[in-house]
Chain A
Amino acid sequence: MRYAYFLGCITPYRCPGIEKATRNILKMFGIEVLDIRGASCCPAPGVFGSFDLLTWIAVAARNIAIAEDMNADIVVTCNGCYATLSDAIYLLNNNKNLKKKVNDILKTIDREYRGTAKVKHIVDVLNVDVGYQNIGKMVKHPLGGIKVAVHYGCHFLKPSRLRKHGSSEHPILLDKLVEVVGAKNVNYQRKQMCCGAGGGVRSGNLDLAQSYTKKKIESMVNAKADCVVTPCAFCHFQFDTGQIELNRRIGYKYKLPVVFITQLLGLAFGMSLDNVGLHINQTSVESLKNKI
């Protein structure tokens, strides 16, 4: 089995620990990871989708077209990339006029969107392609000492009509992955709330983005979580960097480690914090050390 790893922007250029852990985990399960040469920003759904939908979908179609030429399906580690690429596929495959319009644009750069590639979220690859049983078999250090607050992020689940990951109000996929590696899964207030980064809000209204982040982190800390686990690079970045920003701006005192799902798996499979790239986080992960 092989996947073309669509990196996007935040994963490789802000949170490369996620890239490292993901490449290692996929390799451990015998999944070949291919680079998408010449891939660009997905482009961000709530940002470029808000600026100009035609540009957004045409650039997305180019990214997908490169993977199509590789005869490979795409895997992503960011809900933003996931939303852009899967929404683009849905819209292009269901609207002939739009597909023609986009392909007329792509023709000028010798590309063509055919609609043959699928995009899969890393959580789907782990759940469906790898499976809970195989993940469970790899666990060397069950993470019973860690209480995890699960954060799905919005675009993995919504719009649920298109994502087909079950209920967006009571999702289970990521919770199951956390439980399979033995971690304690704690429920918390506003579990389904957004991290605050999307829709151009982080770049355009940082105060508002931080209001979200503060509310979320406080709820997790109140539920006695030792860390937050995300399946999205942008949520990961927002929680990790957001806590530092809150610290600087309002003397915020919480230091909740932020862990990507493949990093959590890596820890359970016996890798160290450094080996899964958690040491490069902005918010300290020291508190996790004696709990693993």
Chain B
Amino acid sequence: MFIRKMNNQNDVEEQKTTRSLVEQILRSGSEVFSREEIIKFLGCVQCGVCVGSCPSSMWTAWRARLLIRKMQLKSCENILSDESLWFCTTCYTCQERCPKQIPITDIIKVVRNLAVKHGYMKDTHKRICSFFLTYGHAVPPTDEIKKIRKALGLAELPPTVCTDLRMLKEVLGIIEKTGFNKIYRE
């Protein structure tokens, strides 16, 4: 399995969750984006421009239109556990072309946030998080790159968070405050 289900919810609990999932999407979406924007999904007419425009839909079973339809019907079974949710590169082509101006890419991010909160996160994504928590960079420096930088006439390492423990502690302070260290480890 690509995505490991971390907590053993049974089916009944899963159903309970999906009934309130649309409310959760609206609520957490409104915290960062605006409610007026997110709620535009109700106006989807299932025209399919999103799927026709989506490069990932050429190769995979990912269908943005289906996600929006499930949300309209409040029938969100499996949307959090569906691996194809993670096939979107957030290229925004669907959102750009949607005739109803539905912020599809923003909605995908909000749904992914909930998926992560419910324990659906790839190991490779967890690895990026652990890099971030260790170095303050999702893509950390290597010994080889230090040599290359030096040969280019650049500083071996730039004065970012990775060379200053005090600065790294600031980033970790934010992460502790938002609870992200717990979210991704659970």
Which chain A residues have a beta carbon within 8 Å of chain B's beta carbons? 7, 9-10, 12-14, 16-17, 19-20, 23, 35-41, 43-55, 57-59, 62, 91, 95, 98, 101, 105-106, 108-109, 111, 154-155, 158-160, 168-169, 192-194, 196-201, 203-205, 208-209, 211-212, 215, 277, 280
The minimal Cβ–Cβ distance linking B122 to chain A, given in whole angstroms, is: 5
Q: Which residues of A sit under 8 angstroms from B125, Cβ to Cβ?
A: 47, 51, 200, 203-204
How far, in whole Å, are A209 and B145 apart by their CA atoms in the complex?
Answer: 24
B89 interface residue, CB < 8 Å from A?
yes
Contact in complex: A158, B173 (CB < 8 Å)? no
Query: Which stretch (B13-21, B71-79, B109-117) binds chain A?
Result: B109-117
The minimal Cβ–Cβ distance linking A74 to chain B, given in whole angstroms, is: 14
Contact in complex: B138, A44 (CB < 8 Å)? yes
The minimal Cβ–Cβ distance linking B173 to chain A, given in whole angstroms, is: 4
Which chain B residues have a beta carbon within 8 Å of chain A's beta carbons? 28, 31-34, 55-56, 58-60, 86-93, 95-96, 103, 105, 108-110, 112-113, 116, 121-122, 124-125, 127-129, 132, 136-142, 145, 148-149, 152-154, 157-161, 164, 166-171, 173-175, 177-178, 180, 183-184
Contact in complex: A13, B31 (CB < 8 Å)? no
Contact in complex: B132, A105 (CB < 8 Å)? no
How far, in whole Å, are A10 and B137 apart by their CA atoms in the complex?
Answer: 9
Closest 8 CB pairs of A and B: A38-B167, A158-B92, A46-B90, A199-B90, A9-B139, A194-B91, A40-B136, A50-B112
The minimal Cβ–Cβ distance linking B182 to chain A, given in whole angstroms, is: 10
Q: Which residues of B sit under 8 angstroms from A111, Cβ to Cβ?
A: 170
Q: Which residues of A sit under 8 angstroms from B92, Cβ to Cβ?
A: 154-155, 158-159, 168
The minimal Cβ–Cβ distance linking B111 to chain A, given in whole angstroms, is: 9
The minimal Cβ–Cβ distance linking B186 to chain A, given in whole angstroms, is: 12
Majority-rule SS of B interface residues: helix
Interface-centre pick from A14, A43, A91 (highest chain B CB count, 10 A): A43
Contact in complex: A47, B128 (CB < 8 Å)? yes
Known: A16-B149, A204-B125. 15 other contacts (CB 8 A): A38-B167, A39-B161, A40-B168, A40-B171, A44-B138, A47-B125, A59-B175, A62-B171, A98-B32, A109-B174, A194-B55, A194-B93, A203-B125, A205-B87, A212-B89
